[in-house]
Structure 1
């Protein structure tokens, strides 16, 4: 009995993008930190203008 079975090896990572996950993480943290810093100082300025 001859059965043709095509099994994909999960170690091949066929659909994976060729990106560096570490730098994606670094840019994410830096970008979020910068965004939150701008929001923080914006609210501080608004607080001093209103109060």
Structure 2
């Protein structure tokens, strides 16, 4: 039984792209916080417009 498997050294990191993980995390956190803040105040304004 012949298996067509090619072993590679896992230390090569062939497909790895240089990324700034902390920067990505901070951008996502602050971006979502800003979006939720805008959404919150938008809903408060809508509540006051439609309240009697």
Which band: TM-score by shorter chain? 0.7 to 0.9
Matched residues, number: 47
- Structure 2: 5+ residue runs without aligned partners? none
Tell me which stretches of 4 or more aligned residues in structure 1 moved more than 4 Å: none
Per mean C-alpha deviation after superposition, the further-off stretch among 12-21 and 32-41 is 12-21
Instruction: Output the CA distance in 1 between the equivalents of 2:42 and 2:34.
Output: 12
Partner residue in 2 for 1:12: 12
Q: Deviations over 1:6-32 (max 9, x none)?
A: 532222221111111010000000000
Instruction: Output the CA distance in 1 between the equivalents of 2:38 and 2:6.
Output: 53
SS of equivalent to 1:10: coil
- Structure 1: 5+ residue runs without aligned partners? none
TM alignment of 1:23-38, pairs within 5 A: 23-38=23-38
